[in-house]
Chains A and B, each alone.
Chain A
Amino acid sequence: MLALTLEQRSWLHAVPAGAKMAAVALAVVLVVPVTDPAVIGAMVLGVAALYGSAGAMALRAGLRLLRPLVLMLAIIMAWHLLMGEARLGLVICLRILGLVALANLVTLTTRLDDMMAVLEWLMAPLTRLGLPTGRLALAVALAIRTIPALSLKADALREAWRARATRRPGPQLAFPLVLLALDDATHVAEALRARGGLAATETTKQKRN
């Protein structure tokens, strides 16, 4: 399974992940109180310029990520037009557009392991308090490892459906898929126990650091 990160590197890839995420948080705080469409419009243009500076690939990927938002924004704008609040509607739609695009830009220009590093940094105080945070990294790895395998199994089940049916596969597939996941989980748990279990994840973690 592929993360959304762009392979083509840009200057934004080099900016530390923590700084980029802090910038998004700051943008949210700064932009929410603004009610002047011109100011927010300028921010949207600024975000677009950031995308531009990251290259044509970033721009294209960014627009693709925004596509599911279009219908939602159209509905929001329509409601506000109906209420005779065109200006407010414009402010809200531009705000959503700008913030979502900015947050997506961080995702597009940050590698998965850099994101993990930020997560570990955020968790560090909890680790020092003695909470088993090594477990979280293991859970993330386990889930990421499982998704492609499970989705292949889902494909196989869909194919089995199509081999006998003309209708599209339905939610009935949830049952065999959940069973496959649960059986997988039982095996993985055994493999984990066979190699020292969860307790070992914490100690190896500390050794590595």
Chain B
Amino acid sequence: MERSFVFVALFAALIAVLGLVPSFMLITGVPISAQSLGVMLAGAVLGARRGALAVLLLLLLVALGLPLLAGGRGGLGVFVGPTAGFLVGFPVAAFVTGWITERWRSMDLALVAGVAALVGGVLVLYAFGVAGMVLAAGLSPVQALTALSAFIPGDIIKAAIAGVVTRAIWQARPDAVLSRAH
């Protein structure tokens, strides 16, 4: 019990660090942070419930005033801004990613976790993100999606990376991948 509790806390830290550290560039010149990769991995590695808890813990730290979102953003302001939908979607994205990874066991884990991250970390996350922009910014869903389109290729790549990384972790530390542990 202590172990899964600490896993949740340390994954919250990990998502924060991934947001602060390595941002990589696509050919399009859009900077992409690895933070949503952290959200996908939280679900794929920790499973639905614990993955979502790790993300919720991160959001709590952000609300408490720590600058832990990608690009050093943080504080209460981000929860009333136009991209707040993504923050609401983060824990759901981790949950869905974890839910699929836990249940679909018949295939290679890289494929399973990759598809799970694509559904949870891209499809579900963008549904929340777009809804948030529609509500906060008065845009139509199509307009919101257009405004966000530059980020979508990067997120699809991140889902693929999440799949490969999840399998590599499973091979290195099988009992740490809680989504597959029982």
Q: What are the residues of chain A within 8 A of B63 when measuring CB–CB?
A: 115
Complex: A115 Cα to B3 Cα, angstroms:
27
A189-209 interface code vs B (CB 8 A; 1 in, 0 out): 110110001100000000000
Q: Within B29-63, which residues are at the interface with A (CB < 8 Å)?
A: 34, 37-38, 41, 45, 57-58, 60-61, 63
In contact, B17 and A147 (Cβ under 8 angstroms): yes
**How many positions in chain A have a CB within 8 Å of any CB in the partner chain?**
73
Query: B137: nearest residue on chain A (CB-CB)?
Result: A76
B172 within 8 A of A: yes
In contact, A169 and B80 (Cβ under 8 angstroms): no
Complex: A178 Cα to B162 Cα, angstroms:
11
A63 within 8 A of B: no
In contact, B58 and A143 (Cβ under 8 angstroms): yes
A9-31 interface code vs B (CB 8 A; 1 in, 0 out): 00000000000010010001000
In contact, B61 and A72 (Cβ under 8 angstroms): no
In contact, A168 and B25 (Cβ under 8 angstroms): yes
Which segment, of A37-45, A50-58, A97-105, faces chain B?
Answer: A97-105
Tell me whether chain A's interface is mostly helix, strand or loop, or mixed.
helix
B13 within 8 A of A: yes
Q: What are the residues of chain A within 8 A of B181 when measuring CB–CB?
A: none
In contact, B17 and A96 (Cβ under 8 angstroms): no
A106-118 interface code vs B (CB 8 A; 1 in, 0 out): 1110101001100
Write the nearest CB–CB distance from B69 to chain A, whole angstroms. Answer: 9
In contact, B81 and A69 (Cβ under 8 angstroms): yes
In contact, A72 and B75 (Cβ under 8 angstroms): no
8 contacts between A and B (CB under 8 A): A24-B76, A92-B137, A99-B81, A143-B58, A154-B21, A170-B24, A175-B165, A181-B10
10 smallest A-B Cβ distances: which pairs? A107-B75, A104-B77, A103-B76, A146-B13, A142-B9, A100-B77, A185-B10, A189-B3, A103-B77, A189-B6
- Additional pairs, 19, CB under 8 Å, beyond known A76-B139, A106-B76, A112-B66: A2-B67, A3-B66, A24-B76, A24-B80, A79-B147, A96-B82, A100-B81, A103-B75, A139-B9, A144-B13, A146-B10, A150-B10, A150-B14, A171-B34, A174-B34, A181-B11, A188-B10, A192-B5, A192-B6
